[in-house]
Chain A
Amino acid sequence: MLRGLGADTSRDALDALLPLVYDELHRQARRYLRGERRNHTLQTTALINEAYLRLIGQKSIDWRNRAHFFALAASMMRRILVDYAKTRHRLKRGGVEEELPLDDALTVAAEMTDEAVRVDLIALDGALDKLAAKDERLARIVELRYFSGLTVEETAEVLKISTMTVKRDWNVAKAWLHKEIKNEKSQKPGS
């Protein structure tokens, strides 16, 4: 029954955590809708550092390198969030808009006015795939920074590159993705 012992234990760990992630996302979503949304990132990354430092001191555990874990976590996060976006899309097209508590709906309405900063996660997902084909590292930086909420310094540490490079790549990636999404939209209006 213990098949796949040789399989990637990190991925197993992540899979096992899936329900927790959904649970956590739900909490975060409600917090976000209540307007409490800043300040998570900083604190979490500080803890990642601490946790990791403790872990690498633990020789007897066969734990892969840190970049590997974060990369997996970030791409998993991306998948989940994009799935949610797809669900929403489907619901809207099917005419079954999710019912929101009134106060949440109002908050959302207020938050959603600025079209410029809205991100179409489905379009972003597609563009990110294209970016990965062009420049794998840029796509990974976006996953870590955007989907996992790591800081520039954290990202640099995980990918073992300089913060300068992260900053540069982040700027390039943002510009490239924005352009790509815009192009896609203008080619396929109404999608």
Chain B
Amino acid sequence: MSDPHWEKAKDIFQAALEKPAGAERESFLDAACAGDAGLRGEVLGLLAAFDDAAGFLDEPPIAEVAETIAGRRESLRPGQSVGRYRIERKLGAGGVGEVFLARDTELERPVALKILAAEFSGHPDHVRRFLQEARAASALNHPNILTIYESGQFDTVRFIAAEYVEGETLRERLRRAPGINPDELLEIVAQTAAALGTAHRAGIVHRDIKPENIMIRADGLVKVLDFGLAKLVEKETPESRNIRKTDFRTTPGLVMGTVAYMSPEQARGLPADERADVWSLGVCLSEGVFGVQPFPGDTTSDQIAAILRSEPAPETKETRPELRRIIGKCLEKKAADRYPTIDDFLREINEFRQENDLSAAGGAFFPAARAISGAAPPIAAPPVVSSAEYIVRGLKKHKFFALAAALAAAALGLLLYFAVFHPFPSAAPIRSIAVLPFVNVGGDADVEYLSDGLSESLINKLSRLSELRVASRSSAFQYRNSTAPASEIARALGVEAVVSGRVARRGDELQISVEMIDAADNTQLWGETYRRKFSDAQTVQEEIAQNILRKLRLTPSETQARSFNSPITDNAQAYQLYLNGVFYRRKNGPENVRKAVEYQNQAIALDPAFALAYAELGYDYYIFVGVGAVDSRTGLPPARQAIEKALSLNDALAEAHDINARLKTADFDWPGAETEIRRAVELNPNLASAHTFYSELLTETGRFDEALAEIEKARELDPLRINLVNYEAEILFRARRYDDAQATFESGNPEAVGETFALISRARVAAARNRYPEALALVRKSLDKDVTTKGLVHLGRLYALTGDRAAALAVRERLKKIDLYVSPAELAILDAALGMREPAFANLERAFAERDLLLPLINVEPEYDTLRDDPRFADLLRRINLKNPAR
């Protein structure tokens, strides 16, 4: 190909490279070039350049333009306007543009607004394709075809405004129920055929009819999407991810076009006419009737082979011979043997329906579909799919015509092409996730505990995987009913993916739709709709968890896998009761906690091996003590009993160890408590509450720096739990770092530092900094919000310190009469401020006797400082196994 001189130079260059630089290389060159000075010079020049080129071309070329590419997107933000369309949110992004949900401010209706990316608006080719798409689709006017409202340009922005449709695709419908009702299926097929008939008469062949492109609105109206596009291959869409599980198995992460619905002529790369659509719709019908694809295959090439050569897969279900005949006629390999037009097919379908009384003229399933104007009540929540998604996919393919011939090649091309350019999911695995509270669609209060509970169980379950960081419940649940895009939520929570779901109940039936969104680009990683008996909520939860695990390609250790795989309970009813219990415990207040206890006891009665219910029960009892509903001597023994039982059933239950640690501190067993809490954190690194409690434990034992570090961990898991700032400030306060505590409060979220107890803490910090008027104002503000015994104690103390002894004593009297449990340890604070040492020590003794949960804090709280020199104080600390930390 090139001159011998150059070939020789290359050989010598390579050989010389293998010699060490210096004399040896020189002599080699002398010999090799044999007096040819030109050759020697050329090789030397290459060698010098080679040394100079170290690192050259080592980085992928994307390194050079990454910022240019990455910086080009997201041109429009919510609130911005394109002409009369106001952007509401981004629905998706494709190769050359983005799709937004927008509001037509003139006609006051939502539209799917597709925008051609700015960098392409200068390319005549892209612009032409963009407009062509709009033209092709808008040429067709039929109720079953997605409507294009307008295409145009505003400033430099090119856009297409299309009907915004919410509904579910036939794919989802097929997946949802165990076998679609023939009546329902034939109605959908008939509407699709009607749409295709209109298109064919206009000379447009769809060429990509498949369940993903057939959308069913909540009222039953079918919308055929992607019209006029020669559908080639597609990006990994939600549907493709789900339906091509077989492909995933053989070639992980590889994405390819759907060939399953492709006609033999398309697979051969031959021209395709309307009979190709007949074939594809026939495949859809066959799949709906028999529940399996007629031409299955593990890989694309296997599928193509089946389409070209095999008979349809043996039928798995009995069906009427007439319907079988219709399907068979659609699936003739030779186009000439099929129905000559889609109308012929539709006629036979309708005849079949009439003959079989399948309501060809008014189905029970879609009463509203025929009276399009009458908006029917949604059967259940339509899964979050919209027409826009299909437009997004439209963005990703731009050959409209003349490509049928290339279809087969293209499918294979994609196979190779993606192999080159598509990084697999495993290339950047998702290792942090947030589960948002599932939406209770009907608003049915009786289902509320279930929608919350399902998400919470998922959080609980996923949290057991140490490889995965799971945003804690309290942070994730702030996004209840949020309409913010996943990327935004994920950013706030510091995670890479977001799981959301919708729960609807109709009688005894439960429909749960779940999806997982990649926050990087708001694409769906996984989505599924489950329709089950109400009582099967537990198994659905397990299924969802397993699916997420699979989708994330996590490989938990054996111990973790065991913990993950072990169901929360086998008893569906017990699970419901457990969820109810958790729901009430969350609601706080002694009455609700009492209900929670009842529910957990009932759950345990049904499943005596229900470890998590025992752990919850233990927690409920502990909370009784914590909120002062009962004293420790009454409340802690049943808590202890429940936790012991939970641990005997499942020693790997982080929640049980967490509570057990708390119970051990109540017994002043500090090393025991620390062992337990460390075990809890080890078993479930994502348990934010355990980190918070660990920090309390460390504070009580005077290890303030470690305590601050634990709070930091809790904050990472729970970034939106704004009141963690209060915990931090309180630790600083106990460490006598008053100015730091003050600064921390000042940096906090106003809402957080304005909470009842935060106000008291701020008052204490102010007092420690000798700012009494400010302290008094803060504590009064706290009492205005809610009268707490702690607030009163510190109000009294501040009166005492500012010389208003009478007022202080009055507060003390009030505390004696108050109808709330008053911690004797806290009462001692007021006594100490009043100089009443004997009552102070009497109260501390009582605190010891009652196992007052606040007693350990005397070790570190500054307010006890005036008592510390008394030998009785040191004795008390010794008895609770603490010593006054040196400072």
Residues in A lying within 8 Å of B, measured CB to CB: 1-5, 9-10, 12-33, 36-37, 39-41, 43-45, 47-48, 50-52, 54-55, 57-58, 60-63, 69-70, 73, 77, 81, 84-85, 87-88, 91, 98-100, 104-105, 108, 111, 114, 116-121, 134-137, 142, 145-150, 167-169, 171-172, 174-179, 182
Contact = CB atoms under 8 A, between A and B. Distances in A.
Contact of B95 (A19, A55, A135): A19
Given A1-B401, A23-B94, A172 B71 contact: no
Contacts of A17: 232-233, 410, 413-414, 417
Given A12-B409, A37-B63, A179-B46, A174 B56 contact: yes
Given A15-B399, A20-B396, A117-B56, A30 B423 contact: no
Nearest to A58: B301
B67 A29 contact: yes
A100 B71 CA distance: 5
Contact of A12 (B57, B403, B415): B403
A9 B63 contact: no
A1 to B, nearest CB: 5
Contacts, number: 298
A111 B62 CA distance: 12
Contact of A81 (B46, B49, B65, B426): B65
B46 A19 contact: no
A27 B308 CA distance: 36
Given A16-B403, A168-B14, A55 B424 contact: no
A48 B94 CA distance: 24
A172 B10 contact: yes
Contacts of A39: 427
Given A19-B398, A176-B49, A85 B413 contact: no
Contacts of B771: none
Interface string B263-299: 0000011010000000000000000000000000001
Given A21-B95, A25-B421, A57-B301, A51 B416 contact: yes
A116 B58 CA distance: 11
A84 B412 contact: no
A121 B96 contact: no
A13 B269 CA distance: 11
Given A50-B251, A179-B49, A16 B423 contact: no
A63 B409 contact: yes
B549 interface: no
B53 A178 contact: yes
A54 B426 CA distance: 22
Contacts of B58: 117
B743 interface: no
Given A5-B405, A23-B396, A134-B6, A111 B63 contact: yes
Contacts of B251: 47, 50-51
Contacts of B49: 175-176, 178-179, 182
B60 interface: yes
A145 to B, nearest CB: 8
Contacts of A36: 427-428
Contact of B412 (A13, A50, A121): A13
B335 interface: no
B50 interface: yes
A177 B49 CA distance: 9
A52 B416 contact: yes
A116 B55 CA distance: 7
A83 B55 CA distance: 23
A60 B69 contact: no
B421 A10 contact: no
11 contacts: A2-B405, A10-B413, A13-B410, A20-B234, A43-B424, A47-B254, A77-B61, A116-B56, A145-B57, A147-B61, A149-B420
Contacts of B339: none
DSSP class of A's interface residues: helix, strand, loop or mixed?
helix
Closest CB pairs A-B (n = 6) = A19-B95, A13-B413, A178-B53, A179-B49, A98-B71, A175-B50
A121 B65 contact: yes
B883 interface: no
A60 B398 CA distance: 26
A149 B13 CA distance: 24
A33 to B, nearest CB: 5
A34 to B, nearest CB: 8
Nearest to B97: A19
Contacts of A100: 67, 70-71
Contacts of A10: 409, 413
B106 interface: no
Nearest to A57: B301
B70 A171 contact: no
A18 B200 CA distance: 28
B47 to A, nearest CB: 7
Contacts of A70: 416, 420
B427 A40 contact: yes
A25 B72 CA distance: 12
Interface in B550-580: none
Contacts of A26: 69-70, 72-73, 93, 521
B71 A20 contact: no
A146 B57 contact: yes
A21 B299 contact: no
A168 B11 contact: yes
Contacts of A32: 60, 62-63, 66
Contacts of A171: 13-14, 17, 50
Contacts of A111: 63
A13 B11 CA distance: 38
B95 A27 contact: no
A74 to B, nearest CB: 8
Contacts of B402: 1-4
A81 B52 contact: no
Nearest to A43: B424
Contact of B397 (A19, A48, A116, A117): A19
A54 B301 contact: yes
Contacts of A85: 64-65, 68
Given A30-B66, A104-B71, A117-B58, 12 more contacts: A13-B414, A31-B428, A32-B60, A32-B66, A43-B253, A51-B419, A55-B301, A98-B72, A99-B71, A174-B53, A175-B47, A177-B56
Interface string B366-397: 00000000000000000000000000000111
A135 B68 CA distance: 31
Interface string B119-142: 100000000000000000000000
Nearest to A147: B61
Most chain A CB atoms below 10 A, which of B73, B396, B426: B396
Given A23-B95, A84-B65, A137 B1 contact: yes
B768 interface: no
A73 B417 contact: yes
Contact of A62 (B55, B409, B415): B409
B14 A135 contact: no
B61 A29 contact: no
A172 B396 contact: no
B304 interface: yes
A175 B423 contact: no
B235 interface: yes
A175 B53 contact: yes
A135 B1 contact: yes
A177 B417 CA distance: 27
B822 interface: no
Contacts of A28: 62, 66, 421, 423
Nearest to A111: B63
A17 B406 CA distance: 12
A100 B69 CA distance: 10
Contacts of A145: 57
Nearest to A61: B408
A19 B396 contact: yes
A5 B68 CA distance: 37
A25 B69 contact: yes
Given A16-B233, A20-B414, A27 B521 contact: yes
Nearest to B271: A2
Given A135-B1, A135-B6, A33 B70 contact: yes
